[in-house]
Amino acid sequence: MLKNIWKHRWDYPYLLPALGVMGLLIVYPFFYTIFLSFYDTPSSRPEIFFVGLDNYRELLRDETFLLVVKNTLIWSVFGTLCPFLVGFLAALLVNQKLPGLNFARGLMIVPYAMGFVPASHAWRWIFHGDFGVITGTLQYLGLIKDPIPFLQSPALIMPSLILVNTWKSFPFVMIMVYAGLQTIPESLYKAARVDGASAWSQFWEITVPQLSNVLMVTSMLMFISNMNQFTLIEIMTGGGPAYLSEIIVTWIYHSSFQTLRFGLASAASVLLFLVLIVFSIFYVRTLTRSAVQG
Amino acid sequence: MTRKQRKALHAIVVYSLIALLCLFAFLPMLWMASTSFKTSSEQFVSPPRWIPHNPTFEHYTKIFFPTRLSSGSFQIYFFNSLFISFMTTILALIVALPASYAFSRFSFPGKDSAYFAVLARNMFPLIVFLIPLFSMMRILGWINTYTGLIVAYMTFTLPLAIWLLKGFFDGIPTELEKAGRIDGCSRFGAFMRLIVPLTASGMTAAGVNTFIQAWNEYGFARQLTESASMRTIPVGLAYFFTENTSDWGGLMASAFLFSVPVVILFMVIQRFFIAALTQGAVKQ
Amino acid sequence: MAEVSLKNIVKTYGDVRAVDDVSLHIHDKEFVTLVGPSGCGKTTTLHMIAGLIDLDGGHIFIGKRDVSELDPKDRDIAMVFQNYALYPHKSVRDNLLFPLRMRKIDKNTADQRINRAAKILSIEQLLDRKPKQLSGGQQQRVALGRAIVRDPAVFLMDEPLSNLDAKLRLQMRTEIKHLQQELQATMIYVTHDQIEAMTMSDRIAVMDKGKVQQFGTPDELFNHPNNVFVAGFIGNPPMNLIPAQIVSEGGDKKLRMGQITFAPQSARVHDLINKAVGDKVVVGLRNTAIHMVAAGTPSAINTQVYTVEPTGDVTYVQANIGDKMCTISSPDVAYRGRLGDPITLKLDENRLYLFDELTGKAIV
């Protein structure tokens, strides 16, 4: 082992700057977070106190945190499913052999290309309770009388956020699925047509099985990025009203930088790490297994 | 139905659905642009107007020619965003270039786990890193400085840059270095003289991507800056609104100005970016 | 099984006529090959028969039915693709089952047909594998199997052997021909390899630039090519085609090829020369129609060796006639001339072809 390292000693200088930066900014914070999760960090005093698993106990007993976990699940599942379906449909559409579809594909990427910050502000304005364009249009058409409080109503807040995420993320799914569709040999469809398969059968017997890998990877990446989505929710609702749109990452942010409970927030971070690590392992497994099977 | 009729029907269905999706994708942007040209009173008229009756440039004039240059003005935010994104890009590329080359070409012990660590970063939320980074920056005295933000931005830009550049190096045949070594280059010389010049497109793609990432970042910028003069645009946009009560026109104008360059940049590099994004998932 | 008729079929892509007014009549149980260089329209024609490409003009009949407007599934055809197009995620059995399932054929009949096809192709022990686990030759058999289970009116084969290595290709060539005779199938086969076409087919349609250049038995194509293209395409090595000019010397018509002036001795060649429209012609001679003879033989051509290519049972000599590099079969397999060695060649006038240089048409 040492001999092997010595043999490759001239490889490491290439990595040194990157490893230094990563160690400082990624590895150290990672372990520091785990460390801090066992401590109480009272805002009134500079010292910190070892409390063992108290932070974890508190979290699992805290009804607000359990609500936040539930919100995170709803947000991540439906925030993945909806863009996924729309993006899949978009990919199938732009994959048809008709003129002008490349151009349409370029247009549809725009929401994905836009930053989360301006997009969130734009949607905040679109959803505006009194002067929002949706409310205004529906009122004008006489379909509703009272304004729709998209971002205030407990029933509407999650669907509204998921709608924004669908708009923002469906192009990502479209890009991935479209790339996957490109790799399916045309001859498979020709063979299926000769073999008598209808368009419907071709979709289920060829397209879906051939895309299984891409669909798996895409939904996994989407799910993880939704769990980690801070900007959109923070700007649109700040987690409110009354924690109804708070998800774990925004909760961690508010607990550390607003209520200054760094230890508790770190414990939540560690729990989130664990969940994400399980996901990552699952993800890498899927990738390597499908690579082996070809 | 004949084949021709079926084809025509198919085309009609496809184009209508595409048109719907394009509208869905575009209307929010258009509404943003439309609002940015409306006077303060026209923003609130009912029914909503897609085309302003009295279009005005007042919001843009206010952004470009403020009556007085305060620390909270768009120009300052803009400069901060530009400077920080640019420096982040340079730093990330310098650090990522040799590392991604090593990941692509060498087979040193520990390579797989190190590369896994790079990729695993993308799995975790940035906000979680903010707590330790914040205390670290406080100790280093880097809170509310350009250095602090630029260094903090390495957290997410470096892994992506390494990943993108490694993909490009993987695509360059190793015979090139072998030929270079035979022709008398040192190992590092072969890298610098033969390989680096070939990665211009890769560097551009990775660089533009890094730039966009840094340009759009919100959470770090919000927490690691304190004074108005250090804010970047994403943070500043929120203040813009509170400083000028209910100035949706101003907010939309600045958000629009902020988005346009990024969308254009993204469109320019999307081919590279999409290739990198999809190669892992699609490769069989 | 059925006969197949193409009546003036046309396919255009922009300004290019990929298939230009092609008409063919293929008999029941006949093995017909479409052969030609890449881009000649042969694959497009096959895909038009399959219904995978729409016609821009003309009609296709399978049996008595006009199928021009029908979907592939309604044409009662089966097709084997160049890259086999096996469904990668399905086992061999499920690949064979797929066309039957799509036609709602009951399970028992389907099993019977699959077992029969597997037996014919000896792939019984592979039925539970995935295509990726099979060798190229095995995949080829499965692709054939998927066509056989259908029991179609016509088999369409799109360069099915081009992905196999040379040895396997020879073996599968024999097997496909045998299969066609065993099944008494009408088979339309596309290839760019003229040897494949010659060895397998009852009749061959040579295509170039979207048109059928000649449609006939292998013997007809080899011995009576319609035009320069067919002459140059069919046969291995290809026919030597030497540009020539008809000149009159002392009232006698001769052929000038480069610096060489060749005076034909036979009435046959004189007759051909007299039929020529202009004075520009192309002389066609197979490698076996040029003989190496002793120096000083009358009305022979003197030239030099360029290279000698022994292949084992034949030795080819390359040498210039006029300005044209020609391939000649050496009468002596052991002949090993070197660059520049003088040789004397006599042209076999009974097997000399003459083509009009302008139209390319054979003069007969």
Tens-digit pLDDT string for chain A (294 aa): 778 878 777 778 888 888 888 888 888 888 999 998 998 888 777 778 888 888 899 888 988 999 999 999 999 999 999 999 999 999 999 999 888 888 888 889 889 989 899 999 999 989 987 788 888 888 888 888 888 888 888 889 999 999 999 999 999 999 889 988 988 999 999 999 999 999 999 999 999 999 988 888 888 889 988 999 999 999 999 887 888 999 999 999 998 888 888 889 999 999 998 988 888 787 777 766 654 443
The beta-carbon neighbor of A185 closest among C47, C71, C85 is C85
Chain A CB contacts of B120 under 8 Å are 280
Q: Give residue-wise pLDDT tens across range C103-118.
A: 888 999 999 999 999 9
Three-state DSSP at B50 gives coil
* Residue B110: Cβ-neighbour burial (10 angstroms; 0-12, 13-18, 19+): middle
Q: What is the pTM of this model?
A: 0.85
Tokens of A29: 């914070």
The verdict on a CB contact (< 8 Å) between A194 and C88 is no
pLDDT in tens, A221-268: 899 889 999 999 999 998 878 889 999 999 999 988 888 888 899 999
Rounded-to-integer distance, Cα B18 and Cα A92, Å:
10
Residue type, C333: V
Number of domains in chain B: 1
> CB of A181 within 8 A of CB of A92?
yes
Is B2 close to C54, i.e. CB distance below 8 A? no
At CB < 8 Å, which residues of chain A contact C?
185, 187-188, 190-198, 201, 205-206, 209-210, 212, 293-294
Tell me the C-alpha distance between A273 and B127, whole Å: 12
Listed by start position, the domains of chain A span 56-293
**HSE-up of A25 (CA within 13 Å, CB side)?**
23
- Which among A194, A208, A210, A292 is the top mutation candidate for probing chain C, defined by the most C β-carbons within 10 Å of its own β-carbon? A194
Task: Give the pLDDT confidence score for residue C42 in this predicted structure.
Answer: 94
Contact assignment for C103 to A185 by CB distance below 8 Å: no
pLDDT above 70 (res C188): yes
Q: Look at the domain C240-356 and name its fold.
A: OB fold (Dihydrolipoamide Acetyltransferase, E2P) (2.40.50)
Q: Spell out which residues of chain C touch residue B3, defining contact as CB-CB under 8 Å.
A: 54, 69, 71
Q: Per-residue pLDDT tens for B34-49?
A: 988 888 778 887 778 8
Give me the pLDDT at residue C291, please. Answer: 92
CATH architecture designation of domain C4-221: 3-Layer(aba) Sandwich (3.40)
Residue A162 is predicted with a pLDDT of 96
CA distance B55 to B37: 5
- C-alpha radius of gyration, chain B, whole number: 24
Question: Nearest Cβ partner of C103 from A185, A196, A209?
Answer: A196
Mean pLDDT of B56-76: 74
Query: C238-269 pLDDT, tens per residue?
Result: 999 999 999 988 778 889 998 888 888 888 99
Q: How far apart are CA A51 and CA A48, in angstroms?
A: 9
What is the pLDDT, as a whole number, of residue B276?
66
Give the model confidence (pLDDT) of A29-54 as tens digits.
889 999 989 988 887 777 788 888 88
Give the per-residue pLDDT at A292: 45
How close, in Å, is residue B3 to chain C by CA atoms? 7
Residue B184's domain spans which residues? 68-282
Q: What is the mean pLDDT of residues B23-43?
A: 88
Q: Nearest CA of chain A to the CA of C118: how many Å? A: 18
Whether B248 is covered by a domain: the verdict is: yes
Query: How many Cβ atoms sit within 10 Å of the Cβ of residue C28?
Result: 14
Distance CA B274, CA B257 (A): 25
Given this model, what pLDDT does residue B179 score?
84
| Subunits in contact with chain B (3 or more CB pairs closer than 8 Å) | A, C
Q: Is C12 helix (H, G, I), strand (E, B) or coil?
A: strand
- Comparing CA positions, the residue from C80, C65, C72, C57 lying closest to residue C3 is C65
Query: Could you report the per-residue pLDDT of B191-249, keeping only the tens digit for each?
Result: 888 888 888 878 888 898 899 989 999 999 998 988 888 889 898 887 766 555 667 88
Least confident of B199-208, C49-58, C134-143: B199-208
> What is the pLDDT at residue B278?
66
pLDDT score, position B163: 86
Instruction: Please provide the average confidence, as pLDDT, over all residues in chain C.
Output: 91
Q: Which residue has the higher pLDDT, C291 or C299?
A: C291
CA-nearest residue of chain B to A29?
B132
Residues of chain C above pLDDT 70, percent: 100
Peptide bond into B47 cis (omega under 30): yes
Look at residue B25 in the predicted model and tell me its pLDDT: 92
pLDDT of residue C231 exceeding 80, the answer is yes
Query: Could you tell me which CATH number the domain at A56-293 has?
Result: 1.10.3720.10
> What confidence score (pLDDT) does residue B284 get?
39
For residue C25, the distance in angstroms to the closest alpha carbon of chain B comes to: 25
We report the CATH number of the domain holding residue B162 as 1.10.3720.10
Average pLDDT over residues B11-16: 94
Query: How far from C218 is each of A18, B63, B87, C29, C200, CA to CA, in Å?
Result: 69, 82, 73, 17, 9
Give which of C6, C2, C11 is closest to C30, Cα–Cα: C2
- At A288 the pLDDT is 64
What's the confidence (pLDDT) of residue C208?
94
- ipTM associated with this complex: 0.87
Mean pLDDT rounded to a whole number for chain B: 84
Q: Nearest-CA distance from C68 to chain B in Å?
A: 10
| Every domain of chain C and the residues it spans | 4-221, 240-356
pLDDT in the model for residue A261: 87
- Cα distances from A67 to residues A54, A64, A73, A75, A169, in angstroms, run 20, 5, 10, 12, 25
Q: Verify whether the Cβ–Cβ distance A175 to B158 is below 8 Å.
A: no
Domain for residue B178, yes or no?
yes
Pairwise CB contact (< 8 Å): A125 & B124 = no
**Of B241-255, C2-16, C70-84, C116-130, which range is least confident?**
B241-255
Contacts with C347 (C-beta within 8 Å, 6 or more apart), sequence order: C262, C285, C289, C290, C291, C301
* Rounded mean pLDDT, C129-152: 91
Q: What is the band of B71 on the pLDDT scale with cuts at 50, 70, 90?
A: low
What is the pLDDT averaged over residues C329-334? Answer: 88
Q: Which residue has the higher pLDDT, C359 or B228?
A: C359
pLDDT of residue A53: 86
